């Protein structure tokens, strides 16, 4: 299955390279400049498809990349966790991609990302090693329609899709772009997360696993005797993790301010997760994934050297 998916990705990638070259020959793409891009982003909570496991994860994310005028780009970033009592580099990401535009209405892109997560990361997507994706947008003047599809590789392959409607408003150097999105996909990533013992269900308190519990009792003579509990830990599995379903609705109002080569972004987002997973314990117990609506704030700045 994985081989077929990789072959399909290569075919799609080559097809859009051809489309891009054809579009440039017909002078339908505006002239772009190459440049180095550096950025810094603050994320109030690393919510994945509207979900977290046991604790908020605040990130500070420095990044650097290079964008070529052809549309090809590469980049690297790391996510520094800012939670109280736990400051560490939680993840490193390397990415490469290709963006194109055909005419004034249609645009798209293809990308591949490699992730390196800290072994103790509690981010829900921390078991995903590699991601490939595509995105497309068409401007209908009244609104723009956006769509994307991606594959996440962990123990199994996840399929994640997104469709959104947006409208951009410009006020001088400011731009406001309200957007409504729907995410759908599989939850093999969550099954791998549970299997890795990262969940609060396995005793993870948000930073690290709890130590084995012990009990203290007193004998008749008053001396204390300690005995460690040696009960085998339970394991957990997501029922029908490969089932494709709607996972999340998101409402967002990105606000951007551009001054020459410097751009500031503020992105408030309200995430509404749906269709909680059913979780089966090795003890036979059945429970539902804990989900709730969440507000996320992202604030960032980028500078482009051209």
* Domains of the chain and CATH, by start: 2-202+232-305 (2.40.160.40)
Q: Which of 149, 218, 208 lies closest to 182, judged by CA? A: 149
pLDDT digits (tens, 9 = 90+) for 205-222: 655 444 333 333 334 444
Sequence-ordered list of residues with C-beta below 8 angstroms from that of 165, at least 6 positions apart, any chain: 143, 144, 145, 146, 179, 180
Mean pLDDT of 58-79: 97
Q: What is the pLDDT of residue 214?
A: 34
Is the confidence at residue 63, as pLDDT, over 90?
A: yes
Question: Per-residue confidence at 194, pLDDT binned at 50, 70, 90?
Answer: very high
pLDDT digits (tens, 9 = 90+) for 92-144: 999 999 999 999 999 999 999 999 999 989 999 999 999 999 999 999 999 99
Is the confidence at residue 193, as pLDDT, over 60?
A: yes
Return the higher-pLDDT residue of 92 and 203: 92
Mean pLDDT of 68-95: 92
Question: Per-residue confidence at 86, pLDDT binned at 50, 70, 90?
Answer: confident
Mean pLDDT of 65-86: 92
Q: Using CA atoms of 247, 133, 165, 301 in order, give the dihedral in degrees to the nearest 10.
A: 100
pLDDT digits (tens, 9 = 90+) for 245-281: 999 999 999 999 999 999 999 999 999 999 999 999 9
Is the confidence at residue 295, as pLDDT, over 90?
A: yes
Q: What is the pLDDT of residue 54?
A: 79
Q: What is the pLDDT of residue 111?
A: 97
Tokens 């390397």 belong to residue: 94
pLDDT digits (tens, 9 = 90+) for 2-60: 444 444 444 444 444 444 433 344 333 344 789 999 999 999 999 999 999 878 899 99
Least confident of 69-73, 176-180, 227-231, 265-269: 227-231
- Please give the model's pTM, rounded to 2 decimal places: 0.81
Q: Which of 160, 158, 103, 152 lies closest to 135, judged by CA? A: 160
Question: Per-residue confidence at 230, pLDDT binned at 50, 70, 90?
Answer: very low
Q: What is the pLDDT of residue 219?
A: 40
């Amino acid at each position: 299955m994985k081989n077929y998916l990789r072959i399909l990705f290569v075919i799609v990638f080559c097809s859009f390279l051809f489309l891009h070259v054809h579009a440039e020959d017909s002078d339908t793409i505006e002239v772009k400049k190459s440049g180095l891009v550096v950025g810094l982003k603050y994320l109030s909570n690393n919510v994945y498809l509207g979900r977290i496991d046991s604790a908020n994860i605040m990130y500070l994310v420095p990044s650097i990349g290079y964008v070529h005028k052809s549309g090809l780009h590469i980049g690297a970033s790391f996510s520094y966790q800012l939670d109280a009592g736990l400051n560490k580099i939680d993840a490193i990401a390397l990415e490469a991609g290709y963006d194109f535009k055909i005419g004034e209405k249609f645009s798209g892109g293809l990308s591949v990302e490699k992730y390196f997560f800290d072994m103790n990361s509690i981010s829900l997507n921390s078991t995903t090693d590699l991601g490939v994706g595509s995105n497309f947008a068409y401007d209908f003047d009244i609104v723009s329609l956006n769509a994307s599809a991606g594959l996440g590789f962990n123990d199994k392959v996840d399929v994640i899709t997104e469709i959104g409607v947006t409208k951009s408003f410009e006020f001088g150097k400011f731009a406001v772009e309200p957007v409504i999105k729907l995410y759908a996909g599989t939850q093999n990533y969550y099954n791998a997360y549970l299997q890795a013992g990262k969940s609060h269900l396995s005793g993870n308190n948000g930073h690290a696993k709890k130590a084995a519990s012990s009990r203290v009792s007193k004998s008749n003579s008053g001396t204390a005797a300690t005995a460690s509990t040696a009960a085998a830990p339970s394991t957990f599995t997501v029922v029908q993790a490969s089932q494709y379903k709607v996972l999340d609705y998101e409402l967002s109002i990105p606000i951007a301010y551009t001054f020459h080569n410097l751009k500031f972004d503020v992105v408030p987002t309200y995430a509404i997760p749906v269709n909680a997973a059913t979780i089966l314990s090795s003890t036979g117990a059945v429970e539902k994934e804990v989900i709730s609506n969440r507000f996320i704030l992202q604030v960032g700045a980028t500078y482009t050297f051209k």
